[in-house]
C-alpha cells in the first residue's frame, strides 16, 4: 500500500496539523467507544507535536497513551522516552490522560518485556493512533537493521505485544511493540523532518530487503495506509 505524503512549510505547521488530525481521531474513538488509544515514538522530532497535542480540547481522561518503543532505562533517565512524553505531551490538558509505560523495573529486559506485554494487553486492538518515527538507518520503532529479534519482530505471525531488541545502533537494550501491534492502527503516521530523512524514505520505497531498512515492513505490509507527515 503506497504511503501518502503530507508536506508542510515547516515543523511548526506540521506539528499543528498533525495535532489537529490526531485529536480528531481520538475524539472520534471516544465518541464511538468511550475510550481512545495512542502509541507515540521518542526522539527529538515529535517534541513540538507533543506540545501542540497537549493543548487540544479532548476528554483526556478517556485517552490511554503508550509508547511504540522504549529503552530499558528508568523513567528518570534522560534517554527515556517516558521522560520525553511526560515533559512534552502529558502536560496542559493532556495531564489527565492515562499513561502506560513500557519500561518495567525487572532483572532483565526479557522479563520487562513479559511484564509490559501483560500490562499493555488491556489496550483495545487496534490502536486508534500510532505515530512512528524513522532513523537515518531506516529503523522504525526498535526495528533496527541487524537487531537481535528483528525477524520475529517483523513477522506478522508474531503476536501483538512487546519484544526485546538489541542492536549496535540502539544503545541500550530496547522494548518495542511488534509489527503486528502497530501495522493496523486506524491512523498510522510516519512523522519525519529534514531533507536527509526524506532521502531515506525515498530509498526505503525502492527495492531492497526489509532487514536492511526495516521501515520497509511498515511501508509494504501495514494493513492501514501510512500517512507520512514531513517538513524540511
* Mean pLDDT, residues 171-190 taken together: 97
Give the mean pLDDT of the chain.
Answer: 97
**Looking at residues 200-225, what average pLDDT do you find?**
97
Task: Name the domain count of the chain.
Answer: 1
Report the percent of the chain where pLDDT is more than 70: 100
Radius of gyration of the chain (CA): 16
Is residue 163 predicted with pLDDT exceeding 70?
A: yes
Write out the residue range of the structural domain in which residue 111 sits: 4-231
CATH classification at residue 59? 3.40.50.1360
pLDDT at 1 over 80: no
CA-CA distances (angstroms) from residue 52 to 76, 80, 100, 103? 23, 21, 20, 25
Residue in 5, 174, 9 with CA at minimum distance from that of residue 81: 174
pLDDT computed for residue 2 by the predictor: 72
CB 51 within 8 A of CB 22: no
pTM: 0.97
Confidence of residue 159 (pLDDT cuts 50, 70, 90): very high
Q: Average pLDDT for residues 128-146, to the nearest whole number?
A: 98
Instruction: Place 169 in a pLDDT band, splitting at 50, 70 and 90.
Output: confident
Query: What number of other Cβ atoms are within 10 A of residue 201's Cβ?
Result: 20
Q: At 174, is the pLDDT very low, low, confident or very high (cuts 50, 70, 90)?
A: very high
DSSP assignments along 132-154, one per residue: E---TTS-BTTB-TT-TTHHHHH
pLDDT class for 65, splitting at 50, 70, 90? Answer: very high
Q: How confident is the model at residue 30 (pLDDT cuts 50, 70, 90)?
A: very high
Amino acid at each position: 500500500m503506497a504511503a501518502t505524503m503530507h508536506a508542510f512549510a515547516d515543523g511548526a505547521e506540521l506539528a499543528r496539523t498533525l495535532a489537529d488530525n490526531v485529536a480528531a481521531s481520538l475524539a472520534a474513538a471516544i465518541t464511538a467507544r468511550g475510550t481512545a488509544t495512542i502509541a507515540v515514538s521518542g526522539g527529538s522530532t515529535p517534541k513540538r507535536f507533543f506540545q501542540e497535542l497537549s493543548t487540544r480540547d479532548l476528554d483526556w481522561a478517556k485517552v490511554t497513551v503508550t509508547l511504540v518503543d522504549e529503552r530499558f532505562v528508568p523513567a528518570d533517565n534522560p534517554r527515556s522516552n517516558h521522560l520525553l512524553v511526560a515533559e512534552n505531551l502529558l502536560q496542559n490538558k493532556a495531564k489527565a490522560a492515562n499513561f502506560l509505560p513500557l519500561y518495567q523495573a525487572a532483572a532483565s529486559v526479557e522479563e520487562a518485556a513479559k511484564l509490559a506485554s501483560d500490562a499493555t494487553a488491556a489496550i483495545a486492538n487496534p490502536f486508534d493512533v500510532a505515530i512512528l518515527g524513522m532513523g537515518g538507518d531506516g529503523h522504525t520503532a526498535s526495528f533496527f537493521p541487524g537487531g537481535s529479534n528483528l525477524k520475529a519482530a517483523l513477522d506478522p505471525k508474531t503476536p501483538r505485544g512487546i519484544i526485546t531488541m538489541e542492536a549496535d545502533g540502539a544503545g541500550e537494550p530496547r522494548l518495542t511493540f511488534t509489527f503486528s501491534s502497530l501495522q493496523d492502527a486506524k491512523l498510522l503516521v510516519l512523522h519525519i523532518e529534514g531533507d536527509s530523512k526524506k532521502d531515506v524514505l525515498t530509498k526505503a520505497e525502492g527495492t531492497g530487503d526489509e532487514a536492511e531498512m526495516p521501515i520497509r515492513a511498515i511501508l509494504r505490509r501495514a494493513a492501514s495506509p501510512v500517512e507520512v507527515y514531513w517538513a524540511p
